[in-house]
Amino acid sequence: MQGLTFITDFFVICSGYNKRQLQGIAREIELTLHSYGIHWIGMEGYQEARWILMDYGDVVVHLFDKEMRHFYDLEFLWGDARKLPWKVNT
């Protein structure tokens, strides 16, 4: 997102299968980052859990259910943004 918007430097876009899973992902992100001393500025959509937005300033996390991810299609909307591959450490 750097160079495309002043809002944030990075978007993290994630999908979940249902409300419970999306809320669990949001809680785990919050707890993990909190353990590193990183706190969100704001969070929206947690109760409905169709699109949960977690604002950490330089990073904004978007957690979508399948329908909302398809409807808003942020990857297309921000298609000029550089994409970084996700690597899982094992």
Structural domains of the chain in order of their starting residue, each with its CATH number: 10-77 (3.30.460.10)
pLDDT for 72? 76
**How sure is the predictor about 87, in pLDDT bands with cuts at 50, 70 and 90?**
confident
Distance from first CA to last CA of the chain, Å, rounded? 28
- DSSP code, position 47: T
6-9: long-range contacts at Cβ-Cβ below 8 A with a sequence spacing of 24 or more? Answer: 7/60, 8/55, 8/57, 8/58, 8/59, 8/60, 9/58, 9/59
Predicted model pTM: 0.79
Query: Which is more confident, 61 or 73?
Result: 61
Residue 26 buriedness (CB in 10 A; 0-12 / 13-18 / 19+): buried
pLDDT in tens, 3-14: 555 566 778 888
pLDDT in tens, 19-55: 999 999 999 999 999 999 999 999 999 999 999 999 9
